């Protein structure tokens, strides 16, 4: 810096400037102009030379990442690998653009070929981890462009996406693009989802699919693949069952049922805390059963759980039994309305057993609760005897069977007496 100053002192005076001293920019510091066309030409030339040998394609892409700027041109790279060239908005390839047939859209429309292409993407993204986000964005974009692709191109993309979801290369959040209003309205989303879920389930199973959907809160949104006037379990089930995806139909039906059961329990607890009349509660529950196809066994379990959660229980074992009897006596008419079948009564017995075992203060109250429900006609002889004989749970089995021994003997004797009286009457 010093030599520069003395040199400048020997020159004629410089005019003052506002910009300050200017330094020449080094060549390597200049920002390279964004030019995807040149990048595209390099990739297409390399793919053309490798031909349809996908092992060679993977090796070429691996080597090219050291020379070409994948980070900057990720979208162009994935456009080429999927569609054969850079895509214009809407999903079309420009006529004057160079293109290649070494791409997903030009490949055979079968699962085996798409699995081979999935390996190309897997290897590329494993090698260049920074491409993960770019690839996810690319797939979201491609799903929005579905109307611009042919049916065959959509099918290939759906199969490939399903495979990549199965092996974890893609996150299930990309499915948000399928809820685009226009795609849903024209039936494109549902048709695409059929192919996608078939290949996904083929790679894994419905349980693995369910876990992935749950992670991104997509497990309760699948009916949104249809327009609002067709968003029913019945329509979804019919459409996907006919398409050969019965397991997906059953999964959605089950999810809907779980949601309906949670809503029913929440509303029940609110009605109980308000002290609504039992006739109104019973009417509401029966309507929900019919509307959501909920069984009586399921309902009686929900009512039991709701009844037991509406009170603060005494921590002293000797007092809790008395408190429980008083409380349950009040709710007996409600429970009786939903124990019209032997199986419902057995379900209730198992729920009582489970509750008394899980809440240690209730261990000695089990028999008293059962006797109360017997007297209130919530439970009858046959289910109680069946429970005692072979239908009980392992939880607290020895304690509860011992508690019930005398009552069961009394029931058996009463049953024998009534049979003998019936025979004498004949």
Same domain, 380 and 302: yes
C-beta pairs of 401-407 under 8 Å, 24+ apart in sequence: 403/364, 403/366, 403/367, 404/366, 404/367, 404/370, 407/367, 407/370, 407/371
Into how many domains does the chain fold?
3
Identify the domain containing residue 132 by its residue range.
36-214
pLDDT for the residue 291? 84
Structure tokens at 127: 């090698």
5 part of a folded domain? no
Task: Say yes or no: 96 and 207 in one domain.
Answer: yes
Are 262 and 323 in a shared domain? Answer: no
Residues 6+ apart with CB under 8 A from 227: 184, 185
pTM of the model: 0.68
What letter would DSSP give residue 178? G
pLDDT of 358-390, one tens digit each?
Answer: 999 999 999 999 999 999 999 999 999 999 999
Retrieve residue 365's tokens.
Answer: 């109250």
425 in a domain, yes or no? Answer: no
**Are 89 and 196 in a shared domain?**
yes
Q: Residue 417 has what pLDDT?
A: 64
pLDDT value at position 84?
Answer: 93
154-184 pLDDT per residue, tens: 999 999 999 999 999 999 999 999 999 999 9
- Structure confidence at residue 34 (pLDDT): 56
Q: Give me the count of residues in the chain.
A: 426
Same domain? For 349 and 389 the reply is: yes
Measured distance CA(406)–CA(387) in Å, rounded: 15
DSSP 198-254: HHHHHHS-HHHHHHHHHHTT-TT-GGGGS-GGG-SHHHHHHHHHHTT-HHHHHHHHH
**pLDDT at res. 29:** 41
- pLDDT for res 233: 87
Residues of the chain with pLDDT under 70: 1-34, 95-96, 415-426
* 95 within a domain of the structure (yes/no): yes
Model pLDDT, residue 367: 95
H helix runs in 337-426, sequence order: 342-358, 366-375, 381-386, 397-425
């Amino acid at each position: 810096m010093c030599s520069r100053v003395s040199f400048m002192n020997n020159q004629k005076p410089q005019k003052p400037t506002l910009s300050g001293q200017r330094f020449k920019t080094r060549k390597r510091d200049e920002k390279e102009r964004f030019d995807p066309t040149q990048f595209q030409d390099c990739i297409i030339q390399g793919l053309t030379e490798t031909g349809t040998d996908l092992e060679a394609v993977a090796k070429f892409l691996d080597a090219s990442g050291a020379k070409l700027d994948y980070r900057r041109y990720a979208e162009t790279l994935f456009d080429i690998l999927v569609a054969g060239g850079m895509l214009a908005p809407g999903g079309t390839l420009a006529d004057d653009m160079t293109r290649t047939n070494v791409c997903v859209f030009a490949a055979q429309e079968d699962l085996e070929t798409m699995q081979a292409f999935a390996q190309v993407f897997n290897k590329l993204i494993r090698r260049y981890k920074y491409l993960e986000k770019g690839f996810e964005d690319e797939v979201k974009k491609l799903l929005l462009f579905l109307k611009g692709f042919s049916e065959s191109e959509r099918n290939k993309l759906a199969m490939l996406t399903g495979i990549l979801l199965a092996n974890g290369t893609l996150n299930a959040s990309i499915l948000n693009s399928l809820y685009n209003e226009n795609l849903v309205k024209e039936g494109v989303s549902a048709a695409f989802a059929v192919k996608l879920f078939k290949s996904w389930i083929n790679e894994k199973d419905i349980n693995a699919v369910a876990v992935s959907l749950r992670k991104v809160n997509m497990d309760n949104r699948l009916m949104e693949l249809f327009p609002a006037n067709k968003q029913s379990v019945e329509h979804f089930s019919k459409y996907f069952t006919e398409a050969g995806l019965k397991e997906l139909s059953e999964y959605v039906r089950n999810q809907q049922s779980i949601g309906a059961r949670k809503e029913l329990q929440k509303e029940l607890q609110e009605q109980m805390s308000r002290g609504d009349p039992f006739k109104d509660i019973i009417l509401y529950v029966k309507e929900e059963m019919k509307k959501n196809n909920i069984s009586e066994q399921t309902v009686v379990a929900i009512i039991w759980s709701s009844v037991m959660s509406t009170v603060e229980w005494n921590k002293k074992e000797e007092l809790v039994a008395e408190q429980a009897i008083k409380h349950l006596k009040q709710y007996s008419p409600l429970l009786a309305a939903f124990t019209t079948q032997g199986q419902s009564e057995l379900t209730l017995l198992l729920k009582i057993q489970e509750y008394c075992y899980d809440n240690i203060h209730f261990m000695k109250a089990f028999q008293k609760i059962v006797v109360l429900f017997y007297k209130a006609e919530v439970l009858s002889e046959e289910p109680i005897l069946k429970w005692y004989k072979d239908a009980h749970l392992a939880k607290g089995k020895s304690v509860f069977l011992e508690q019930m021994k005398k009552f069961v003997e009394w029931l058996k004797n009463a049953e024998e007496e009534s049979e003998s009286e019936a025979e004498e009457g004949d």
